[in-house]
């Protein structure tokens, strides 16, 4: 099949595109030209939010399936609908488990959990996209499949509660700088390797039974945040990491920018039921334990010293939180 990725070089989509290509599918990737697209793929250079530019760039491109990993606003998916409403066999919208109500009403969370995150605009916007697309599915027969990943990481990521898309956490741990966790750090959380997610999503591509359905794809391994940081420190060879345990309410009151990521996601229990994706994609299994995955991240980190990117904004946030908390205790 011909599969068009809107976003095919990101944290999740890179492995998804690679696996589909390995299985013999033709891959095209919409890009603004800022990220390298593998030579084996077709690069479609355009601004994905510009309908006219997309029409022109897609001339001669006839995808069977479109997978949008970059739909964050209703306007994003509205462009896709106009482009593909009568052209494709299937449209996969990559949403998020952050669209569910928080905290969850019951565990493990299934696809029947109500949507409606009251704390985080990221989850709210993804929900709005889902609802808009579902209206077109029901009204126009748009061949929609919704996919909801949770906290998904690749070898270039060090998962943490602030932001994972850099080496900030690893650099801080190695330097002996403090990091923090919400409450006592015993909150339950799920981390999914992109290589595992790719198997689940690939099994949905072209799967006619999946049209009209929503799926969450996560690992079955459940960890505490204390365990996640302990495994990360151990993989880095850091024996005594400085970890501050700080109440979620205090964090969100003092640093409002943390309210969405914490109360709207990572300070809530993240335990998911994957029975539905396993029924539709029998070869999907969560094969990679976090203990092994984080060691892959460390191996990449060691092998690419020139790409050890520390995000100054997030690094400063760690410092500011630590200083404020310690100042409070001192006072």
> What pLDDT, on the 0 to 100 scale, is given for residue 329?
64
Closest to 95 measured CA to CA, from 221, 217, 2: 217
Burial class (CB in 10 A: 0-12, 13-18, 19+), 165: middle
Which pLDDT score, from 0 to 100, does residue 65 have?
98
Which residues fall within 8 angstroms of residue 244, CB to CB, at 6 or more apart? 178, 179, 180, 181, 321, 322, 325, 326
Is the pLDDT score of 322 beyond 70?
yes
| Confidence (pLDDT) at 25 | 98
Q: Domain for residue 277, yes or no?
A: no
The reply to whether 331 falls in a domain is no
- Tell me whether residue 284 is in a domain: no
Band of residue 26 on the pLDDT scale cut at 50, 70, 90: very high
pLDDT digits (tens, 9 = 90+) for 275-300: 999 999 999 999 999 999 999 999 99
89 and 64 Cβ atoms separated by less than 8 Å: yes
The pLDDT value given to residue 331: 53
pTM: 0.95
What is the biggest distance separating any 2 CA atoms in the chain, rounded to whole angstroms?
A: 67
pLDDT of residue 330: 62
Q: Looking at the 3D structure of the chain, how many domains does it have?
A: 2
Percent of the chain with pLDDT over 90: 87
Reported as a single tens digit per residue, the pLDDT across 86-95 is: 899 999 999 9
- Closest C-alpha to 225, from 197, 183, 263, 253: 183
35: confidence class by pLDDT, cuts 50, 70, 90: confident
Both 93 and 125 in a single domain? yes
SS (H, E, C) 145-204: EEEEECEEECCCCCCCCCCCCCCHHHHHHHHCCCEEEECCCCCEECEEEHHHHHHHHHHH
Q: Does 314 lie in the same domain as 170?
A: yes
Q: What domain range is 197 assigned to?
A: 2-152+191-217
pLDDT band at 167 (very low <50, low <70, confident <90, very high): very high
pLDDT at 68: 97
Query: Looking at residue 282, what is its pLDDT?
Result: 97
Within a domain: 43: yes
Question: Considering the domain boundaries, does residue 89 fall inside one?
Answer: yes
Which range among 3-17, 209-223, 242-256, 276-290 shows the weakest confidence by mean pLDDT? 3-17
Question: Residue 279 falls within a domain, yes or no?
Answer: no
Q: Using one digit for the tens of pLDDT, what is the confidence trace for 189-202?
A: 999 999 999 999 99
- Distance between CA atoms of 223 and 187, rounded to whole angstroms? 8
Q: What percent of the chain has pLDDT over 70?
A: 99
Same domain (yes/no): 23, 121: yes
User: Any idea how long the chain is?
Assistant: 331
Same domain, 121 and 167: no
Nearest to 92 by CA among 35, 163, 20: 20
Mean pLDDT for the stretch of residues 247-259: 98
**Domain for residue 315, yes or no?**
yes
| Average pLDDT score over residue span 102-126 | 98
The residue with greater pLDDT, 328 or 88, is 88
């Amino acid at each position: 099949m011909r599969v068009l990725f809107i976003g095919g070089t990101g944290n999740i989509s890179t492995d998804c595109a690679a696996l589909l290509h390995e299985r013999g599918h033709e891959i095209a990737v919409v890009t603004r030209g800022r990220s390298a697209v593998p030579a084996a793929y077709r690069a479609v250079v355009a601004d994905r939010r510009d309908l006219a530019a997309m029409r022109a760039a897609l001339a001669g491109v006839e995808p069977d399936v479109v997978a949008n990993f970059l739909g964050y606003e209703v306007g994003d998916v509205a462009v896709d609908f106009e482009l593909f409403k009568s052209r494709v066999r299937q449209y996969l919208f990559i949403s998020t488990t952050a669209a569910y109500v928080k905290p969850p009403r019951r565990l493990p969370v299934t696809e029947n959990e109500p949507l409606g995150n009251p704390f985080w605009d990221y989850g709210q916007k993804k929900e709005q996209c889902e609802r808009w697309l579902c209206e077109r599915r029901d009204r126009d027969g748009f061949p929609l499949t919704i996919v909801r990943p949770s906290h998904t990481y690749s070898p270039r990521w060090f998962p943490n509660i602030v932001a994972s898309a850099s080496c900030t956490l690893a650099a801080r741990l190695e330097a002996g700088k403090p990091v923090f966790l919400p409450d006592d750090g015993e909150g339950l959380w799920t981390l999914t390797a992109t290589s595992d997610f790719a198997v689940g999503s690939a099994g949905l591509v072209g799967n006619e039974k999946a049209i009209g359905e929503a799926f969450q794809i996560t690992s079955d391994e459940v960890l505490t945040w204390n365990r996640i940081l302990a495994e990360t420190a151990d993989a880095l060879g850091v024996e005594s990491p400085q970890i501050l345990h700080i109440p979620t309410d205090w964090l969100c009151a003092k640093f409002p920018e943390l309210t969405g990521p914490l109360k709207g996601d990572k300070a809530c229990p993240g335990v998911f039921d994957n029975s539905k994706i396993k029924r539709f994609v029998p070869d999907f299994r969560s094969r990679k334990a976090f203990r092994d995955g984080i060691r892959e991240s460390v191996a990449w980190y060691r092998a690419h010293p020139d790409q050890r990117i520390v995000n100054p904004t997030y690094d400063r946030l760690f410092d500011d939180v630590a200083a404020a908390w310690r100042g409070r205790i001192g006072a």
